[in-house]
Amino acid sequence: MRTTLLRAGSLAAAVLAGSTGVAAADDAVTGSAFGASAGASLVPGGKAATLDTGPLAASSSRGPATASVADAPLGGLVTAKALTSSVVPGADSVAAKAAAAEVTLPLLGPAAGRVPSIRLVSARCAAADGRVTGSSDLAGATLGRLGTLPAATAPNQRLGVPGVAEVIVNEQLQRYDGSLEVTALHVKLLGGELGRGDVKLASVVCGPAKERAPEAPPRPDAPRQVVVVPAGAPQTGDGSLAAEG
């Protein structure tokens, strides 16, 4: 019976340890990133066409840690000479970044009066110690009639053509679970003459961040115990109590 109880206790401890391990994995601070994606239902020349590239040059904290794609056409909606992304996990932290270089946006040509181009778009985020931060940059942006943008903009700046297309720069979305999604450039086709869909360039997600557990205060030295020995006890050496009985 004793052996059975020990085995049952060991089994319960193993199950508890396994459950704790799963919970720890699910509670990890995670991150992901991709260079570009395009999904749209287009109406070029009055003919319907569908495009769905999925995330290109995608990486995550679960792997792969880095990714790159050269000369990405994205179905003619967007072109980019290079797409890159990387995610660096740490102990209760993560950092992610993504970039697209030498970008052109043929899908916005009719609305902009020329094919918009951007030399470099990039986004980054980090989660650690209960905080999630993110930012993005655009360099060498030429957007024609859509407007002009500085290299660094405040989150969620919008421009475009009403009813046709909207361009969101430095899009930052706080998710319900506390994670942060940052997309350097998000083009939305609104269902007008160009069709309907989404194109994202340089997008990252980090979090949610876990607060660092407070450190336990140092334990004070245990107080010394004082033992009172009554007179005549054997410890006094006179043997008075030892002689009794």
Q: What is residue 175's predicted lDDT score, i.e. its pLDDT?
A: 92
Q: What is residue 2's predicted lDDT score, i.e. its pLDDT?
A: 43
Dist CA 70 CA 82 (whole Å)? 4
Q: What is residue 73's predicted lDDT score, i.e. its pLDDT?
A: 77
Dihedral angle, C-alpha 100, 102, 107, 110, nearest 10 °: 140
**Residue ranges for the chain with pLDDT beneath 70:** 1-27, 43-48, 150-152, 212-245
61 CB neighbour count, 10 Å cutoff: 20
Give 87-96 pLDDT, tens digit per residue. 999 989 999 9
Dist CA 245 CA 234 (whole Å)? 13
Dist CA 22 CA 58 (whole Å)? 25
Q: What is residue 244's predicted lDDT score, i.e. its pLDDT?
A: 46
Q: What pTM does this model have?
A: 0.75
Q: What is residue 14's predicted lDDT score, i.e. its pLDDT?
A: 39
Q: What is residue 1's predicted lDDT score, i.e. its pLDDT?
A: 42
- What residues are paired with 120 via a beta bridge? 101, 139
Q: What is residue 16's predicted lDDT score, i.e. its pLDDT?
A: 39
Q: What is residue 200's predicted lDDT score, i.e. its pLDDT?
A: 95
Provide the strand spans (E) within the chain.
Answer: 31-42, 49-52, 59-60, 66-72, 80-90, 93-104, 117-128, 131-142, 157-161, 165-174, 180-192, 195-206
Q: What is residue 153's predicted lDDT score, i.e. its pLDDT?
A: 76
Q: Give the residue from 137, 125, 134 showing the smallest Cα distance to 60.
A: 125
